């Protein structure tokens, strides 16, 4: 019996180890004093300082943050309204809409990337900030919808009826009753969208332009040239940001009404 347990635990630990070791190595080595080899040469913040001394890099990071914030906000707006509509209303093509959102979520990044590229090209839109923004909003929406929808299903229908009974219009009901109760899921959706946006490589790859550089693509080009401690540091920061957002989102989603 105990052998069975031991084997099981060992397996779990193995897989977790596999999943986390590379990341941990990355983080640890971002503090490594040695620049070239992987020998440990003491703790240092040097690489992080180098990052902050690079104004180009900071600008790129800011670009990404702005893009992520805007796209997350827009996607959350559209996605939340869509989730509420899907849950509450009957309308023409509802099943189709559901299916479309699902397909959108499942679409491989590369397919979405070139599809949007072709769209922008045919509209003669110059590639840059705006095309990036539109693309990011598009791939974020399904995640917001799914997050909010899963929260909505626990919603007491009578609350909406009570609000209408007391004189509230659809919008007033949404604003004063539905939205406050959905808030944790809405915020979680925003956080997830922000993360997705900050991390996106493939869709951005196709729709980006020379005028607006973003962080993931910058990292990609840096990484192709080889491993450096500065990249380690940069990646560690990205990991940290992602981690905190995801943790926060999970906390919000776990709260019971």
* Residue numbers 96-125 binding another protein by CB under 8 A: 97, 100-101, 103-104, 106-112, 114-119, 121-122
**Would the CA dihedral through 189, 193, 196, 198 be positive or negative?**
negative
- The reply to whether 248 sits near another protein by the rule CB under 8 A is no
- Per CB under 8 A, 1 contacts another protein: no
Least Å from the CB of residue 21 to another protein: 8
- Residue 178, both tokens: 């539905």
How far is the C-alpha of 218 from the C-alpha of 205, rounded, in Å?
10
Answer for the pair 69, 134: CB distance below 8 angstroms, yes or no: no
The window from 46-54, 57-65, 146-154, 202-210 that contacts another protein (CB under 8 A) reads: 202-210
Task: Tell me: does residue 220 bind another protein (CB under 8 A).
Answer: yes
Helix (H) or strand (E) holding 166: none
Query: Is 65 a binder of another protein (CB under 8 A)?
Result: no
Of 37 and 153, nearer to another protein (C-beta) is 37
For residues 78 and 134, the answer to whether their CB atoms sit within 8 Å is no
Interacting residues of 3 by C-beta distance below 8 A, sequence separation 6+ = none
Choose the stretch contacting another protein; rule: CB under 8 A; options: 42-50, 57-65, 146-154, 190-198.
Answer: 190-198
Does 144 bind another protein (CB under 8 A)? Our answer is no
Of 188, 177, 87, 107, the closest CA to residue 147 belongs to: 188
172 lies in the binding site for another protein (CB under 8 A) = yes
Rounded to the nearest whole angstrom, what is the least distance from the CB of residue 163 to another protein in the complex?
A: 7
- In the complex with another protein, which residue's Cβ is closer, 62 or 118? 118
CB closer to another protein, 3 vs 106: 106
**Among 219, 230, 233, 252, contact with another protein (rule: CB under 8 A):** 219
Q: Using the rule CB under 8 A, which residue among 81, 125, 127, 187 binds another protein?
A: 81
Euclidean distance between CA atoms 164 and 169, whole angstroms: 6
In whole angstroms, the minimum distance from the beta carbon of 58 to another protein comes to: 19
Note whether 111 and 203 are within 8 A (CB).
no
Rounded Cα distance between 234 and 12, Å, is 30
x/- contact string, 4-43, with another protein (CB under 8 A)?
----x--xx--xx-xxxxxx-xx--x-------xx-----
- Residue 170 is a binding residue for another protein (CB under 8 A): yes
Residue 191 to residue 36: CA distance in whole angstroms: 36
Q: Alpha-carbon distance 142 to 45, whole Å?
A: 39
């Amino acid at each position: 019996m105990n052998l069975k347990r031991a084997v099981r635990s060992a397996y779990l630990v193995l897989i977790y180890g596999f999943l986390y070791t590379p990341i941990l190595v990355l983080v640890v080595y971002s503090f490594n004093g040695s620049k070239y080899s992987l020998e440990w040469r003491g703790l240092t913040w040097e690489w992080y300082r180098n990052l902050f001394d690079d104004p180009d890099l900071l600008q790129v990071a800011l670009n990404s943050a702005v893009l992520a914030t805007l796209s997350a906000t827009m996607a959350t707006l559209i996605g939340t309204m869509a989730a509420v509509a899907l849950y509450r209303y009957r309308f023409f093509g509802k099943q189709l809409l559901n299916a479309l959102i699902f397909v959108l979520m499942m679409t491989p990044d590369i397919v979405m990337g070139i599809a949007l590229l072709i769209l922008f090209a045919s509209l003669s839109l110059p590639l840059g900030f705006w095309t990036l923004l539109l693309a990011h909003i598009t791939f974020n929406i399904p995640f917001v919808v799914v997050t909010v929808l899963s929260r909505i299903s626990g919603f007491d229908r009578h609350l909406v009826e009570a609000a209408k009974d007391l004189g509230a219009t659809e919008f007033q009901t949404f604003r004063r009753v539905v939205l406050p109760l959905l808030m944790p899921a809405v915020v979680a959706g925003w956080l997830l969208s922000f993360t997705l946006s900050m991390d996106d490589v493939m869709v951005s790859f196709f729709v980006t332009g020379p005028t607006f550089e973003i962080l993931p693509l910058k990292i990609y080009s840096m990484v192709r040239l080889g491993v450096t401690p500065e990249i380690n540091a940069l990646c560690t920061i990205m990991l940290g940001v992602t981690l905190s957002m995801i943790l926060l989102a999970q906390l919000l989603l776990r709260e019971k009404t």
